[in-house]
A = this chain, B = another copy of it.
Amino acid sequence: MTGERTATLDDVARAAGVSRATASRVVTGQGPASPRARDRVTAAVAALGYVPDASARALVTRTGTRLAIAVIGHTAAVLDDPYVGRVLISAAHVAAEREVGVSLHWLPLDDPGSLARLADGRGLGGLVVVNPTRPALESVPRTLRGRVAAVGVGARHVPSFDVDNRAGTDGVVRHLVRTGRHRIAMVTGPAWLPCCDRAVDAYRRVLRDSGAEPRIVHGDFTAARGAEAATEIMARWPDTDAVFALSDLTALGVLDGLHALGVRVPGDVAVAGFDDIAFAGLSRPALTTTTHPVEDIAAAAAQAVLDRRDTSGATFYPSALVVRDSA
């Protein structure tokens, strides 16, 4: 099996009785090759267990071989949320299928140049930006045009993939209204994340339809912040009868904060989240939420980048309402 020395394309060519050029054509599938040559090379490849050397190939094709995943706005809390892990797993999976390496980069929020620097190096096959901000996205050099995609909606000129959080939010908030809630507060994400805007917009719209005033508090997608937010909301608008958080983790925190306040859920206040993480069904009361197909989204972004598909514009993935006990 594993000989002393791994077989090279030369070995294959020699074994197949053709030139290295022909062997290369057959192996890559590019360029003409007679059926006879094709068969012989294929056989030789199998016999020798030939595996092309990615470095050598990358060197000559100048086709970067690494998929960089950049997470913008990194804080330690990011690790608690399954979100980044799921994005990473899914993107890495796509990359692995194509024998492409992955590198992960945590980028600070306040240094947009860091993305540009990251993209500077060669050997970069593509870039997936998680939590895209407009300045960051605009800082990536146009050399990479067509090889960048975002998970989450950011700037216009980079293809981005995200859950349809406008529709998702609409669904959740309408469900709240339908079940008799009218004084609904919302805990959004951090202000710098453009993709929250659409959700906030949807929330505002539904409330306007039902003639209610928006009650918005900013969050950061952590549970701790959710607990705080619950306290803030109940202090500021004591008659609140529902809280919608743009993240399940935050919603779970809201549940916790409300419990500490002695508020009953869903009796006094209904709570709904967003993401449908594994734990949403495990909380007491089980969390009503709406799905977030993170894996699909991340895979799509990775594929777009790896295929050099220049699909600018945003693609939205549907979110489905999951009604449990909390709302």
Contacts and interface: CB of A to CB of B under 8 A. Distances in A.
A194 to B, nearest CB: 24
Contact of A223 (B93, B123, B282): B282
A201 interface: no
B102 A51 contact: no
A51 B122 contact: yes
Contact of A104 (B92, B259, B284): B92
Nearest to A141: B2
A108 interface: no
Contacts of A105: 96
A206 to B, nearest CB: 28
Interface in A1-49: 1-2, 6, 49
Given A92-B103, A252-B279, A79 B6 contact: no
A247 B275 CA distance: 22
A278 interface: yes
Please state the number of chain copies in the assembly: 2
Interface string A92-121: 110110011111111000000000100011
Of A93, A104, A105, A281, most B-chain CB atoms within 10 Å: A104
Of A82, A101, A256, A283, most B-chain CB atoms within 10 Å: A101
Contacts of A66: 54, 101
Nearest to A7: B122
A307 B66 CA distance: 21
A263 interface: no
A89 B93 contact: no
Interface residues of A, number: 55
B120 A51 contact: yes
Given A53-B123, A58-B55, A89-B79, A278 B223 contact: yes
Contact of A79 (B53, B86, B104): B86
A123 B79 CA distance: 30
A85 interface: yes
B104 A96 contact: yes
Contact of A99 (B89, B102, B103): B103
Contacts of A100: 103
A68 to B, nearest CB: 9
Contact of A89 (B58, B65, B88, B103): B88
Contacts of A259: 284
B89 A86 contact: no
A295 interface: yes
A40 to B, nearest CB: 23
A213 interface: no
A59 interface: yes
B104 A93 contact: yes
A116 B82 CA distance: 31
A75 interface: no
Nearest 4 A-B pairs (CB), nearest first?
A85-B85, A101-B101, A284-B284, A92-B104
7 contacts: A6-B120, A84-B85, A84-B89, A101-B103, A223-B281, A252-B279, A259-B284
